[in-house]
Amino acid sequence: MISIKENADVIEMNRMTADDVIEMLKITGNHEMDMLFRKANEIRHQYSGNRVFLRGLIEYSNICSKNCYYCGIRENNKSVFRYKMSVTDVLEAVWFAVKNNLGSVVIQSGELTSSANTEEIRKLIKQIKSFSGNKLAITLSCGEQTEDTYIKWRDAGAERYLLRIETTDKKLFENIHPKNSHHSFEKRLEALNNLKKCGYQVGTGVMIGLPDQTVESLARDILFMRDFDIDMCGMGPYIEHNCTPLALNKSENLKLEERYNLALKMIAVLRIVMKDVNIASTTAFQAINNMGKINALDAGANVIMPNITECKYKSCYSLYNNKPGIENSREAELKTTLDLIYSASNVPGFNESGDSVHFLNKIHANIH
């Protein structure tokens, strides 16, 4: 079995091959896994210090035109109450973010591509910017859009965009999505390339523990993120949602605990491979284990997203079973988040927009 210490050369010199990544993802045993997490956390501290960047998460709308087989808000799930927040409700959340020095917000929604939707989000971005006195950085997570739409939203003031590739294995991607042109692997890749071209800080990520997903495939996901040169990553364990097609063969899937450990290892390995990118400690970890977000920080994540969506909407934005914290007020959610940051021996990055250091370094290198 690999020893993290013996492998220090490979780690330090960033000469990671697919085999090295596979070997790390295959590590089992609490002691060996702890060594991996410790190494990743050390690198995180070395490159980004002990600050954890804060993003207030606003679940703007759960209306979606897609039918991803794994997702609880897929269009064909008729048991979901569909909503879109009013501008007033969004600005109330924004005001909470400003008042509490969060530094940035994420606008997340299902995927809609109408021109009316493009315009609504464009206006929303402008309103958030002016209402917050340009104090808040904005990350969008609103799915695949045309290059034109991405340009409009960027020009309105959005700096960052999250679009998960879900898996870089085309065959697996096709297994977890309907087979039609609305759910195309190539289009997902094209959208990611367009985001980069438009000058966004680009984030992507994968789900971990999907049916038939292998460690080899996850290793290729890591190398894809490195070679695409992403700036940010949001990833976490796959968790069944009862009203989805992918949940039907539940018994054949990896145990939740195994997915959880594998997902933590993915965070650690990505941190070792991409030292200065922003990596989120995501809610899916917390859905499996109540130490989830702390464990993800300890494994090398440096971003946390307290959910500041009003309670009445939160339970409708349900991607998987047992979404945690749906009954928490914004105040309670923020307190819990700050407590867990401190308990992982970190400090919150109050009033910091929390740009990806990786992105800033690229810009800097291009100027000089």
Q: Which is nearer to ligand SF4, 103 or 110 (CB)?
A: 110
Q: Is 319 in the site for ligand 5AD (CB under 6 A)?
A: yes
Q: Which is nearer to ligand 5AD, 24 or 287 (CB)?
A: 287
Q: Which is nearer to ligand SF4, 68 or 340 (CB)?
A: 68
Sign of the CA dihedral with 330 first, then 242, 221, and 269 last: positive
Instruction: List, in order, residues 6 or more apart from 157 with CB less than 8 Å away.
Output: 125, 126, 128, 129, 138
Of positions 53, 173, 185, 238, contacts ligand 5AD by CB under 6 A: 238
DSSP category for residue 251: G
**Alpha helical stretches, state H, the chain:** 8-13, 18-25, 30-48, 87-99, 115-131, 147-156, 170-175, 185-197, 215-228, 256-273, 283-288, 292-298, 311-314, 330-343, 357-367
Least Å distance, CB 188 to ligand SF4, is: 10
Beta partners for residue 237, in sequence order: 208
Least Å distance, CB 244 to ligand SF4, is: 9
What residues between 279 and 298 interact with ligand 5AD by CB under 6 A? 284
What residues between 188 and 207 interact with ligand 5AD by CB under 6 A? 207
Of positions 20, 144, 166, 298, contacts ligand 5AD by CB under 6 A: 166
Angle at which helices 115-131 and 147-156 cross, to 10°: 20
Could you tell me if 60 and 108 are in contact, meaning their C-beta atoms sit under 8 angstroms apart? yes
Question: Considering CB distances under 5 to 8 angstroms, the limit depending on partner class, which of ligand SF4, ligand 5AD, none binds residue 73?
Answer: ligand SF4
| Residues engaged in binding ligand SF4 (CB under 6 A) | 64, 66, 68, 71, 73-74, 110-111, 143
Least Å distance, CB 56 to ligand 5AD, is: 17
Q: Is 230 in the site for ligand 5AD (CB under 6 A)?
A: no
**Alpha helical stretches, state H, 14-105:** 18-25, 30-48, 87-99
Distance CA 329, CA 260 (A): 27
Least Å distance, CB 42 to ligand 5AD, is: 28
Instruction: List, in order, residues 6 or more apart from 121 with CB less than 8 Å away.
Output: 107, 109, 140, 142, 153
Of positions 70, 173, 185, 285, contacts ligand 5AD by CB under 6 A: 70
Question: Applying CB under 6 A, which residues contact ligand 5AD?
Answer: 70-71, 164, 166, 207, 238-239, 241, 284, 319-320
